[in-house]
Amino acid sequence: MRRNHASSLPRRRRPGDPMRQFDELPSPLRQWMAQAALPWSPASYRRIWQKGIAEGADHSAILDRLSRAEAQMLARDGLRTGGLR
């Protein structure tokens, strides 16, 4: 079975059930993840979400933070691969 190897970013295996972890996330976060360009782990999303909550940010501000983080990763990946087409 072939996998999508278009990204040069490293893959990481994490213990646990990623679908169960996904189901345990807040609804706005799950909705954002559904449109995300990169397949992040639920643990990564949860870490950013909880940090935003601890800082007193509202949901939309945290989702904006996630979008910025994703844009930075896409830009970094584009530099490594010479841009994806």
pLDDT at site 85 = 46
Q: Which two tokens stand for residue 73?
A: 């990763």
| Spatial CA neighbour of 21 closest among 40, 37, 4 | 40
pLDDT at site 23 = 86
pLDDT at site 1 = 45
pLDDT at site 5 = 53
pLDDT at site 53 = 95
Consecutive H or E run containing 61: helix 59-81
Q: Given phi > 0 = left and psi -120 to 50 = alpha, else beta, which region is 54? A: alpha
5, 62, 68, 83 from 32: Cα distances, Å: 23, 10, 13, 24
Which residues, given as ranges, of the chain have pLDDT below 50? 1-2, 4, 85
pLDDT at site 66 = 92
pLDDT at site 63 = 94
